[in-house]
Amino acid sequence: MSASSVSYPILDPAMPLAARAGQCALAVMAKAPRPGRVKTRLAPPLSLEQAAEINICFLRDTTEGLSTVAAAGRATGIVSYTPVGDEALFDHLLPGDFLLIPQRGDGFGERLLATAEDLLSCGYGSVCLIDSDSPTVPAVAFEQAVAELQKGGDRIVLGPSQDGGYYLIGLKRAHAEVFAGITWSTASVFSETVAAAEAAGIEVVVLPLWYDVDDGATLELLEAELLRDTPPPFATLAGYGAEHTRAYLRMLRQQGGEGR
């Protein structure tokens, strides 16, 4: 696909800009939204097509929320995407000021580390790697991450998820040790990452606890939050409104129960 057909500029780590040094790259880790390739653990209760549609809603809401954070002038919204060649599937899904950067690497940890390396090589002073499964993370959590990474000294910022993972990891340097040897997709990801950072002598700042939506149980948490104004029992902050996701869940309800 020619670059001219892509709606969003694609970053090139070989072309750094000094003007980015004061910016935090808020990078959403995302797969191109093809049915059967995204949010498959939500099918059932959703169909594969519905799972892909809700994935698009998550992406819209997450990036719109990050765009409001970036509007303060200290951050830039980016989608780190896979696979290369599917750039067009993001057309018109993201805010107009977003950028793209392709993922590289095989395992999940490799892709996270490579994205951090590439964005720092682009000239950004710090990087937040953010999941695309948590559309209601409070904006204040992202604002706190940016503020912590702009302070002097090295540190890692982690946003813990209720399932034991994390929805955000923020870095000022590409510390390979916090991605190596992690038991990904388990309830120990957050604790293992904290232990790796502490073993390396790196300060860890912990953000408010939130949740990923990746199965039927967490989809019910999301429905309660967005359709019944019932926040998660562990929440200490009000969640982001996630209006695209809210509207889609409401439509599913009207159609008869999320494909169940």
Asked whether 54 and 111 are in contact (CB, 8 A), the reply is no
Q: Give CA–CA dist 39/200, Å, rounded.
A: 34
Cα 30 to Cα 70, 112, 185: the distances in Å are 19, 11, 16
Q: What is the pLDDT of residue 6?
A: 60
Relative to beta strand 126-130, strand 166-171 is antiparallel
Peptide bond into 16 cis (omega under 30): no
Asked whether 213 and 222 are in contact (CB, 8 A), the reply is yes
- Residue pointed to by tokens 């190596």: 180
Task: Tell me, rounded to whole angstroms, the distance of Cα 133 from its chain centroid.
Answer: 7
**Residues of the chain predicted below pLDDT 50:** 1-4, 258-260
The residue type at 185? S
Asked whether 181 and 251 are in contact (CB, 8 A), the reply is no
Q: Give CA–CA dist 158/126, Å, rounded.
A: 14
Task: Tell me, rounded to whole angstroms, the distance of Cα 249 from its chain centroid.
Answer: 20
Side-chain-facing half-sphere of 164: CA atoms under 13 Å: 10
Which domains does the chain possess? 3-255 (3.90.550.10)
- Alpha helices of the chain — where are they, by DSSP H? 48-70, 108-121, 139-149, 189-199, 216-227, 243-255
Cα–Cα nearest to 44, from 224, 185, 220, 177: 220
